[in-house]
A and B are shown apart, each in its own frame.
Chain A
């Protein structure tokens, strides 16, 4: 086939929905910020290493600045002392943004029902997907990323995602 004469499709026009195009791009280019604090973060490291290879799902561009990221992965126990930092990071992330709570601790405090552990990060920030496990296996973390991809496909792109009704314990 000779493609030298220009684009295969020539001047043809494709009609689609803007949501479909944008979400198609978003889905395959999630940029995670890993808020890794404890044991679960070690399993996230395994998820990113070659065996489980997070890049198969287009989410390997780990960002260390919240300003560059749209997926907050909270992996590990969050203590009351850590909570304001988690909130600050979430607030610094630009829209649209999604949050995964990895493991029992991030989801509910896990088996640390005590004076120092936040009983689930959803007291502070809204959560889209919870992952069970202590720690979850890397496959489960990948499954959560796929879950976000599925979810975002159904969302209108031109609408603010932020759940304005969400009121965290540290929201003034």
Chain B
């Protein structure tokens, strides 16, 4: 049965709902509240949508033509071949009453629903632990509601003890803290191995973890609310700071999404520069992940070997963009400026150094008994589980699932490059790290092809309703001046509607769900952050392993707090 046919069947079955479209044609099912849950069951079981990408809500309080209900809830799913996305949208007439939870259908829904509750105050009936996740427990109100003022901060005076989560976990396992002599250990949020701001509470039987609960939100920086207050180009610096280990990639993913909404295509040279920088960012991201992960297990030499070539890559980037880490080099419709003269030889030197660093590091660990004994078989995630958790990127591929957007839904000519998809077998900590090692080499291969193929020409679209006109015309012509003025003050105008754009980022599928009201500022932006769902799974997959293993597992998942907490 093809896609259109099965869609017809669905619509036949759910008579109160109807089919709509996002910008660009992605199907959007407008579900009637009575049919919402059944429709999602149908999507999963009959139509083959096993991957829940995201859940979010829209507050229509300030829209020009508000629909009957103030809130709408939006679900995004990806099908089993991974090439297609479908959205489901449903009005929520009473936020307190909310909608039914789908946690029993999709594991990933657990934290995603909590976030919607926290940010919008929409309840989920049947969710076992519906509490705040990004904001602190003393917070009053729901910040992403349009009537919550952006600058209204609220002090937090104490940290929650998480016993409300731990107790039911222990009960469910038939355990008792006193009787079974368990020890409750708090890891983080300020802990050398917690990679920033992650907190995990574990119950230990000896060294073995018998239950774990995670807490996040310590680096929640209000990305999504800030987006609603800035023009599209002003948002680019904020995207840098999502996954700050590969800032450029976030720039590119965001700019690409907005460009797709407007319906513009970059000139070839612009596209190739983006591929080049995206792959270089992937390399840097993986280098940091591996360097830190190996440092956690005592392999400090690897830290030097892997971190130093990364520094060389930063030298290249700072020469190109002016900044080492937070580059903000992309613009809607192109980039700030072209490559500098002599970039090829600089970049070539960097690639050589990365090659060498990776080779040296691999030499030390590949046949190293300690490395293997500590990683093999630790916290394996089966393919099915990984999809249920909502894993994407290297973590999903480590589990043997061949999903890489560069293959499943190629963009930017990825289908014309010669490179391999890297897939693991059992999804243990070993696989997660080794997949990254190999991906670095594959990315280098792509970059070398890009260097050879780099075409001449412009890097930005010539439409000055989108990109800034050259300064000479701003100073000498009224038209140029108006273009500049309008772009700076009002921002790039994006057609009214909604859109979900996705990108194969270093950590997995990085998506932006954007709702535009036609102005130069988005009405709403939601980031589909791979680290968020990876972290949600973490307390579950460390169960049964030792504390020392859990530290390495955290490193291998490469949780980046900026992206997770936004």
In the complex, chain A residues 68-95 whose Cβ is within 8 Å of any chain B Cβ = 76-77, 79-85, 89
Q: Nearest chain A CB to B361's CB is how many angstroms away?
A: 14
Give bound CA distance, A41 to B314, whole Å.
15
Q: Is the CB of B155 within 8 A of A169?
A: yes
Q: Give chain A residues whose Cβ lies under 8 Å from the Cβ of B472.
A: none
The verdict on A117 contacting B218 (CB below 8 Å), with A39-B326, A83-B156, A84-B156 known, is no
The verdict on A37 contacting B155 (CB below 8 Å), with A51-B308, A112-B222 known, is no
Give bound CA distance, A82 to B310, whole Å.
29
The answer to the question of A119 belonging to the interface, with a C-beta cut-off of 8 Å to chain B, is yes
Of B5-13, B40-48, B185-193, B347-355, the segment with at least 4 beta carbons within 8 Å of chain A is: B185-193
Q: Is the CB of B324 within 8 A of A43?
A: yes
Q: Give chain A residues whose Cβ lies under 8 Å from the Cβ of B241.
A: 38-39
Of B144-152, B200-208, B264-272, the segment with at least 4 beta carbons within 8 Å of chain A is: B144-152
The answer to the question of A18 belonging to the interface, with a C-beta cut-off of 8 Å to chain B, is no
Mark contacts of B151-184 with chain A using CB atoms, 8 A cut-off: 1 yes-contact digit, 0 otherwise: 1111111110000000000000000000000000
The verdict on A36 contacting B196 (CB below 8 Å), with A64-B191, A81-B135, A85-B159 known, is yes
The answer to the question of B91 belonging to the interface, with a C-beta cut-off of 8 Å to chain A, is no
The answer to the question of B78 belonging to the interface, with a C-beta cut-off of 8 Å to chain A, is no
Instruction: Please tell me the number of chain B residues within 8 Å of chain A, measured between CB atoms.
Output: 50
In the complex, chain B residues 339-363 whose Cβ is within 8 Å of any chain A Cβ = none
Chain B: CB-nearest residue to A137: B324
Q: Is the CB of B220 within 8 A of A116?
A: yes
Q: Nearest chain A CB to B181's CB is how many angstroms away?
A: 26
Give bound CA distance, A166 to B218, whole Å.
25
Please tell me which one of the listed residues B154, B238, B247, B311 contacts residue A80 in the complex, with CB atoms under 8 A apart: B154
The answer to the question of A49 belonging to the interface, with a C-beta cut-off of 8 Å to chain B, is yes
The answer to the question of A46 belonging to the interface, with a C-beta cut-off of 8 Å to chain B, is yes
Q: Is the CB of B326 within 8 A of A135?
A: yes
Q: Is the CB of B304 within 8 A of A50?
A: yes
Give bound CA distance, A101 to B561, whole Å.
19
Sample of 12 further A-B pairs with CB below 8 A, known A38-B197, A41-B196: A35-B190, A36-B196, A37-B219, A77-B219, A80-B136, A80-B156, A81-B136, A116-B222, A117-B221, A117-B222, A135-B325, A137-B324
Can you pick out 11 interface pairs between chain A and chain B where the beta carbons lie within 8 Å of each other?
A38-B219, A39-B326, A42-B325, A46-B314, A49-B303, A79-B218, A79-B221, A81-B135, A114-B222, A135-B324, A135-B325
User: Residues of B at under 8 Å CB distance from A?
Assistant: 134-136, 143, 148-159, 189-192, 196-197, 217-222, 225-226, 237-238, 240-241, 244-245, 247, 288, 292, 303-304, 307-308, 311, 314, 324-326, 561-562
User: Residues of A at under 8 Å CB distance from B?
Assistant: 35-39, 41-43, 45-46, 49-51, 64, 76-77, 79-85, 89, 111-119, 134-135, 137, 169-170
